[in-house]
Amino acid sequence: MKTWIRGALLAGVLALPLGGCFTTTLNHGHVIPPDRVRDIQVGSSREQVELLLGSPSTASRLDGEAYYYISQVKRTTAFMSPRTVEQRVVAVYFDEDGFVRDTAYYSLEDGKVVDILNRKTRTGGSDYGFLSQILRGAQNPSLNL
């Protein structure tokens, strides 16, 4: 009986490092079922589109107005960087009166990856780390940061 417990314990200890090697799938964005996109008819109003699809991920006002619904599937294995394996963009184009004139569907094969999680805006100033900020404060104590 003791050898069975030792064997189970040994198998558990050996399997523990493999636990980090599993693939994690992350879904981001606004996933729209294909049948919902088919329900959008040319001539529908913005309000009808928002009732069917919800609020857009982003909107554009160039050459009329367009709503974009963006979704991505990313996979991460162990400590590796996530990679985008699937991307869908549903675009709904409106005319100048606010009615649907066209819809389009784009996938990862149609263009470049859209970074929908980047929420940082770079500024013209310098980026200082924690230690640099402390040292700068020690050099000039009148900054009162």
Domain range summary for the chain, segments of one domain joined by +: 20-117
Taking the C-alpha atoms of residue 93 and residue 46, their distance in angstroms, rounded to an integer, is 10
Q: How many CB atoms lie within 10 A of CB 92?
A: 24
State whether the Cα torsion 96-98-102-106 is positive or negative.
positive
pLDDT band per the 50, 70, 90 thresholds, residue 47: very high
pLDDT band per the 50, 70, 90 thresholds, residue 117: very low
Closest CA to 48 of 99, 101, 105, 103: 99
Taking the C-alpha atoms of residue 90 and residue 31, their distance in angstroms, rounded to an integer, is 9
How does pLDDT run across 67-77, given as a tens digit for each residue?
999 888 888 87
Please, what CATH class does the domain formed by 20-117 belong to? alpha beta
How does pLDDT run across 8-35, given as a tens digit for each residue?
777 766 665 665 567 787 888 878 887 8
**How confident is the model over 79-88, as a mean pLDDT?**
82
